Chains A and B, each alone.
Chain A
Amino acid sequence: MNTKQLLKPTMKDIPQGRLGMWLLIAGEFVIFGGLMVSYLLYRMRYEQWAEMASHTNVILGAINTFVLLTSSYFVVKAHQAAQRKDSKKITMYISLTILCALIFLVVKITEYSQKLHHGFTFSGKELAASGKAIESSYWGFYFLMTGLHATHVVVGAIVLFIVMQGARKGKNYHRIEIAGLYWHMVDLIWIFLFPLLYIAH
């Protein structure tokens, strides 16, 4: 080793991928935080919104919560496997996680089609036309927040798929952990959204 490499500046107290992911997660939380606080302010102002919240499907929401929690468990397992550099187990657990993501999305789509069927649309035009103008923004929040979250689920699943490919080739095991952190965030955000949107009072 020459002197240049000896002095190479790397302070690996915290691996930099993990540090970067933490910052990204913090940023994401402020974004969702902004949405949730806005929603809460309106929700407290307009009593009519509680009635709208009762139209959400708590059972499907609860199923999805369960699905996501399970998926987080699989991610933890995958991380443990990654520490042992066990490519087979990693592939299995990540595949299970992605399966959970797919279930989540299917349930989500079912829910959306139910809502649209009842005339609860994103823009709320139908509700406004039927004289329930104030209520219409509730569905704006519902679709915006859950939709944004679902986008994160999709992105997270893709990222997991990519790092899984790496692990199968026996490369970049540490990326499992970082992608896993992201997945936990997606899960955690849902844990906040579920009571906010689904539980009426």
Chain B
Amino acid sequence: MDTHKKHGFWHRYFFSLDHKDIGFQYLLTAMFMAAFGGFFVYVFRYNLAFGPNDIPLYGDLAAKQYNQLVTNHGAIMIFWVGMPILLAVIGNFLIPIMIGTDDMAFPTLNKISYWVFLLSCFVLLAGFMMPTGAFGGGWTMYPPLSVSDFGYNNPNTTFWTNFFTGNTFFLLAVALEFISMLMGGINFVVTTLNKRAKGMSLMRLPLVVWMVNIANLLFMFSVGPLIAGAFMLLMDILVGTGFFDAYRGGDPILWQHLFWFFGHPEVYVLLLPSIGAVGEIISTFSRKPLFGYKMVILMVIIAAILSLVVWAHHQFVSGIDPGAANIFSLLTIIISIPFAGMVLSYLGTLWKGNIRFETPMLWALGMLATFTFFGGFTGLHLGSNVFDIYAHDTYFVIAHFHYTLFPTVFLGGFAAFYYWFPKFSGRMMNKTLGLIHFWGTFIFFNSIFIPLFWLGLQGQHRRIYNYSAWNDLLMQPEHIMARQIATVSLIFLLLFQFVFLFNFFYSIKKGKKASKNPWEANTLEWQTDSPPPHGNFDPYPVVQRWPYDYNHPEKELDYCPQSEI
């Protein structure tokens, strides 16, 4: 077991360079931020269903605050929950043990990237304490709205009054978060390339390692222009330059291009690690090799490259050239094909499997199903530029992207969590509570967003505090009812998360002790102790085969670890 002396709390949470500890720090921070994201969504959804007054635990909600909560909900869920969980936690915790090494290539850089991330959380939350209030212009930060009270537009401001505003802090927070993820990303890629165990060729890497790395590279190549744009926007706010001011040699649409050139790949950055983890889980619990492993990797690379050239589907009605819109529509619809290949491979993995319904498997199947049936398929509706004229900026879009992001971040995230929990804590999670948590989340998630699809088709547009001005169109009894169903479902969904929290803290202390390999899986992390000691392996493993030899005809058992000859 652990030959090193146990380190104290301070050491573990503040100074440790061990990739597992840093992963755990990211996890706790992301859960902390998720509490904010979840609370915000509760407040503004409550307002939409039952009115702005006397919201339990909050009080009255004004229009300005509504916008602030929506904006920060979106940004937090994507940048401070999705990114850290799917890139940083999965990458930190899994890459070194899955490739059979002791730590990251640059442990100190890893630590710094966590600290920058933590700083970005504080900067974002500090935005709420600024005299002008938090930023409320939508997570897309479209100028001129995001500049309109500051900089050149408001001669009464100075650099410092412009600095201490929600807008500046929001931008700075996002920029810091990007820098942190960039540092993390460099680390992951170098680690994967340079520190693999003997025998771990690229084509023997577990799928999730591939996916995290592709996601990181995609992130690195798409975020640059937005960082440039963020500098420009920041200068517009702080010193009054006119980069996005149409009257001073700028163009607001340029921001939209810079933003979505990053924004679309970003959803793939979130998706890939999640779908990679789901692939591991489906293969393990179907007791079958991952079907078409190489093809899946190829498809993902194709999809990642295509994702760099579809961004303008977010701008079909924003005033871009209508001829160009045709091309973006074509590319967007075409991107469904590599994804179809990937999903079909996963279904091929299920086919004829001896499926074991453990908790992680349920989450993984739930993720794959909701992502495909509602997220992916409504993507075809929106990829069609004609239908998007109507659906753009309505709740149809809201429901669509939540059907992609919620499965990605939460269903896939929980799948990974329940799957690897025994490894990082050394204990099993309670299965009954896990199942209750799953069904509660899964059912209520669907009953939140299916009504929102319908509301969107009814013409309900987004980021609206209150629909009373649209009496005939959007305030009929059935509309009010649909909103209430969504909101009540949301409250139940949030309540079910307490089951998880209880299970988490209970199991980490009192759960059943986990063996080395409780799921009988093949990848390297299951060949070392649970939890892995400092340094992970002793001796380092030598890899003999690919990770998916389940039910190999020449083997006695129905699995065969990667390090076994």
Asked if chains A and B come from one complex, the reply is yes
Say yes or no: B243 contacts A34, CB within 8 Å.
no
- Give the CA-CA distance A24 to B182 in the complex, in Å: 8
Interface residue B235 (Cβ < 8 Å from any Cβ of A): yes
- Give the CA-CA distance A30 to B251 in the complex, in Å: 21
**Which of B18-26, B188-196, B204-212, B494-502 contacts its partner?**
B188-196
Interface residue B298 (Cβ < 8 Å from any Cβ of A): no
Q: Which residue of A lies closest to B238 (CB)?
A: A123
Identify B197's interface contact among A9, A28, A135, CB under 8 A.
Answer: A9
> Which residues does chain B contribute within 8 Å of A31, judged by CB atoms?
224-225, 227-228
Interface residue A66 (Cβ < 8 Å from any Cβ of B): no
Say yes or no: B248 contacts A144, CB within 8 Å.
no
> Which residues does chain B contribute within 8 Å of A9, judged by CB atoms?
99-101, 195-198, 200, 540
Which B residues between 211 and 232 are near A, CB-CB below 8 angstroms? Answer: 220-229, 231-232
Interface residue B239 (Cβ < 8 Å from any Cβ of A): yes
- Give the CA-CA distance A112 to B445 in the complex, in Å: 57
Given the known inter-chain contacts A26-B221, A31-B228, A144-B241, please indicate yes or no for A137 contacting B194, CB distance below 8 A: no
Say yes or no: B194 contacts A14, CB within 8 Å.
yes
Say yes or no: A7 contacts B249, CB within 8 Å.
no
Which B residues between 278 and 330 are near A, CB-CB below 8 angstroms? Answer: none
Minimum distance in angstroms from B360 CB to a CB of chain A:
28
- Give the CA-CA distance A12 to B512 in the complex, in Å: 42
**Which of A38-46, A91-99, A103-111, A187-195 contacts its partner?**
A38-46
> Which residues does chain A contribute within 8 Å of B187, judged by CB atoms?
20
Say yes or no: A125 contacts B228, CB within 8 Å.
no
Minimum distance in angstroms from A123 CB to a CB of chain B:
4
Minimum distance in angstroms from A147 CB to a CB of chain B:
10
Say yes or no: A19 contacts B194, CB within 8 Å.
yes
> Which residues does chain B contribute within 8 Å of A14, judged by CB atoms?
193-194
Interface residue A59 (Cβ < 8 Å from any Cβ of B): no
Interface residue B254 (Cβ < 8 Å from any Cβ of A): yes
Say yes or no: A137 contacts B220, CB within 8 Å.
no
Interface residue B186 (Cβ < 8 Å from any Cβ of A): yes
Say yes or no: B224 contacts A34, CB within 8 Å.
yes
Interface residue B538 (Cβ < 8 Å from any Cβ of A): yes
Interface residue B267 (Cβ < 8 Å from any Cβ of A): no
For B176-190 the 0/1 string (1 means CB < 8 A from A) is: 000000100111011
Say yes or no: A23 contacts B539, CB within 8 Å.
no
Q: Which residue of A lies closest to B540 (CB)?
A: A7
Minimum distance in angstroms from B372 CB to a CB of chain A:
32
What class of interface size applies to chain B in its complex with A? 35 or more
Say yes or no: A34 contacts B241, CB within 8 Å.
no
> Which residues does chain A contribute within 8 Å of B196, judged by CB atoms?
9, 11
- Give the CA-CA distance A42 to B246 in the complex, in Å: 11
Given the known inter-chain contacts A9-B197, A128-B242, please indicate yes or no for A133 contacting B540, CB distance below 8 A: no
Which A residues between 34 and 80 are near B, CB-CB below 8 angstroms? Answer: 34-35, 37-38, 41-42, 45-46, 48-49
Say yes or no: A20 contacts B228, CB within 8 Å.
no
Given the known inter-chain contacts A31-B228, A137-B248, please indicate yes or no for A12 contacting B197, CB distance below 8 A: no
> Which residues does chain B contribute within 8 Å of A48, judged by CB atoms?
249
DSSP majority for the A interface?
helix
Say yes or no: B239 contacts A34, CB within 8 Å.
no
Say yes or no: B225 contacts A37, CB within 8 Å.
yes
Which B residues between 244 and 266 are near A, CB-CB below 8 angstroms? Answer: 245, 247-251, 254, 258
Which B residues between 141 and 167 are near A, CB-CB below 8 angstroms? Answer: 151-152
Say yes or no: A7 contacts B152, CB within 8 Å.
no
> Which residues does chain B contribute within 8 Å of A32, judged by CB atoms?
224, 228
Interface residue B521 (Cβ < 8 Å from any Cβ of A): no
> Which residues does chain A contribute within 8 Å of B102, judged by CB atoms?
8
> Which residues does chain A contribute within 8 Å of B200, judged by CB atoms?
9
> Which residues does chain B contribute within 8 Å of A38, judged by CB atoms?
225, 228-229, 232, 243, 254, 258
Say yes or no: A23 contacts B542, CB within 8 Å.
no
> Which residues does chain A contribute within 8 Å of B190, judged by CB atoms?
16, 19-20, 23
Interface residue A170 (Cβ < 8 Å from any Cβ of B): no
Identify B248's interface contact among A37, A45, A133, CB under 8 A.
Answer: A133
**Which of B105, B220, B222, B225 is the most central at the interface, judged by chain A CB atoms within 10 Å of its CB?**
B225
Minimum distance in angstroms from B89 CB to a CB of chain A:
21
For A115-144 the 0/1 string (1 means CB < 8 A from B) is: 000000011110010000111111011001
**Which of B106, B109, B187, B241 is the most central at the interface, judged by chain A CB atoms within 10 Å of its CB?**
B241
Interface residue B240 (Cβ < 8 Å from any Cβ of A): yes
Q: Which residues of B contact A (CB under 8 A)?
A: 99-102, 105-106, 109, 151-152, 182, 185-187, 189-190, 193-198, 200, 220-229, 231-232, 235, 239-243, 245, 247-251, 254, 258, 538-542
With A4-B539, A34-B227 known, 17 other A-B pairs at CB within 8 A are: A7-B540, A7-B542, A8-B540, A9-B101, A30-B224, A35-B228, A38-B228, A42-B250, A45-B251, A49-B249, A123-B240, A135-B249, A136-B242, A136-B249, A140-B235, A144-B235, A148-B231
Q: Which residues of A contact B (CB under 8 A)?
A: 3-4, 7-12, 14, 16, 19-20, 23-24, 26-35, 37-38, 41-42, 45-46, 48-49, 122-125, 128, 133-138, 140-141, 144, 148
Nearest 9 pairs between A and B by C-beta? A30-B224, A34-B225, A34-B228, A137-B249, A140-B241, A7-B540, A134-B249, A123-B240, A31-B224
- A-B contact list, 9 entries, CB within 8 Å: A16-B106, A19-B194, A27-B182, A31-B228, A37-B225, A48-B249, A122-B239, A137-B248, A148-B231
